[in-house]
Amino acid sequence: MPRRKQESPKDPSAESPPVHRAGFCAIVGRPNVGKSTLLNLYVGAKVTIVSDKPQTTRRVVRGILTRPDAQIVFVDTPGIHRPIHPLGKFMVRSAADTLDDVDVVVFVVDGSKMPTREDEDIAEMLNDRVRVPVLLALNKVDLLKRDAIGEITQAFFDLVEHEDWMRISATKKDNTDKLLEMILTRLPEGPALFPEDEITDTPMQFLAAELVREQLLINTRQEIPHSIAVQVDEWEERSAQLTYVSATIWVEKDSQKAIVIGERGSMLKKVGQAARKEIEAWLGHQVYLELIVKVRQQWRRDDRMLRELGYE
């Protein structure tokens, strides 16, 4: 008589193999709400620059979080606003285009203030166009006044269709882990999309130019931050311990050039030193950073110049 095979003792992990998820998560919102801060927090490194000036991020930047159970490719996007020049149009278009190719969207808002016209525009776009889950992240909760919580939250709820929401602070790391789990559960099952040690697909040269621009944003005011572009012209690994980098800082007026250089070069020196340290940290060796300031009038409206700078 055939006998039933003896069953081996049950191995729980063999019964239900652990689920691995992988996918893309767009981070969208109006300028200055903390999108890039949130991405850097999740990735654990500065892969996208942050400043207190609106319209800091100009191009889409991907940052990758790899865990044993998942890989999330976060897509930081330029703040969506009503653009007034071709650079702004490029920025808004690249943010909007991101929505078509992701698995989940995090709509980041400044949850300490009532929605603005820009929030309304973005919400309308998300409601009309996005077919994947939208998560509402009410950021900057650390600035939220207690008596305004109800009114502000309700105003955002009325604005945008969302699957779930969370009140967070990207700088204080409040509830950001809870938001991360909400994102994770919305990703499809599948293997990792990028090598597990990769945290961004941004080329180092572009990152270096951005780190210089970040220092300029931090150290300048009014219209100057918006008038600055940084382009790496030369990148040479002179030895295993030293990389030579030369970059041009473009501004739109002679008066801006004078400010960026500073009195006897003081501003340029300060910016150069701070950016050099950050590039050195990325490369793990010494960097010689040379910065040159040049004027190109109205470069933000100059299609050829925008193409050259990679804003196309």
CA-derived radius of gyration, the chain: 23
Question: Which region, judged by CB under 5 A, interacts with Mg ion, from 53-61, 95-103, 112-120, 279-287?
Answer: 53-61
CB of 95 to ligand GTP, least distance (A): 9
Instruction: Please name the amino acid found at residue 119.
Output: D
Restricting to residues 155-174, which ones interact with ligand GTP according to CB under 6 A? 169-171
How many other C-beta atoms lie within 10 A of the C-beta of residue 144?
A: 19
As a whole number of Å, the end-to-end CA separation of the chain is 76
Q: In what side-by-side order are the strands of the sheet with 286-295?
A: 229-239, 242-251, 286-295
Q: Does 142 participate in binding ligand GTP (rule CB under 6 A)?
A: yes
Contact segment (CB under 5 A) with Mg ion among 49-57, 144-152, 208-216, 233-241 equals 49-57
The correct pick among 50, 105, 180, 306 for binding ligand GTP (CB under 6 A) is: 50
Q: Is 52 in the site for ligand GTP (CB under 6 A)?
A: yes
Asked if 140 touches ligand GTP (CB under 6 A), the answer is yes
Binder to Mg ion among 51, 55, 57, 139 (CB under 5 A)?
57
Beta bridge partners of 27: 76, 106
Among 23, 36, 211, 267, binds ligand GTP (CB under 6 A): 36
Task: Name the phi and psi angles at 207, rounded to 5.
Answer: -60, -40
Q: Which is nearer to ligand GTP, 108 or 261 (CB)?
A: 108
- Show contacts with ligand GTP in window 169-208 (CB under 6 A): 169-171
User: Which residue in the set 24, 57, 73, 228 belongs to the binding site for ligand GTP (CB under 6 A)?
Assistant: 57
Distance from C-alpha of 169 to C-alpha of 141, rounded to nearest angstrom = 5
Instruction: List, as one string, the DSSP characters of 30-74.
Output: STTSSHHHHHHHHHTS--S---SSSS---S-EEEEEEETTEEEEE
SS3 294: strand
Nearer to ligand GTP, 51 or 215 (CB): 51
The minimum distance between CB 52 and ligand GTP, in angstroms, equals 4
Give the span between the Cα atoms of 74 and 201, in whole angstroms.
11
Please identify which residue in 21, 35, 46, 62 interacts with ligand GTP, judged by CB under 6 A. Answer: 35
CA–CA distance, 217 with 51 (Å, rounded to integer) = 7
Q: Which stretch binds Mg ion (CB under 5 A): 32-40, 193-201, 243-251, 301-309?
A: 32-40
CB 35 within 8 A of CB 112: no
**Phi, psi (rounded to 5 degrees) for 101:** -125, 30
Spatial neighbors of 153 by CB under 8 A, at least 6 apart, are 111, 138, 167
- Binding mask 63-82 toward ligand GTP (x if CB under 6 A, else -) reads ---------------xx---
- Does position 36 interact with Mg ion (CB under 5 A)? The reply is yes
Q: In terms of DSSP H, where are the helices of 244-302?
A: 254-261, 266-283
Tell me how crowded residue 178 is: count the other CB atoms within 10 A of its CB: 12
Which of 22, 26, 34, 138 touches ligand GTP by CB under 6 A? Answer: 34
139 touching Mg ion, by CB under 5 A: no
- Chain contacts with ligand GTP (rule: CB under 6 A): 29, 31-37, 50-52, 54-57, 78-79, 139-140, 142-143, 169-171
- Chain contacts with Mg ion (rule: CB under 5 A): 35-36, 56-57
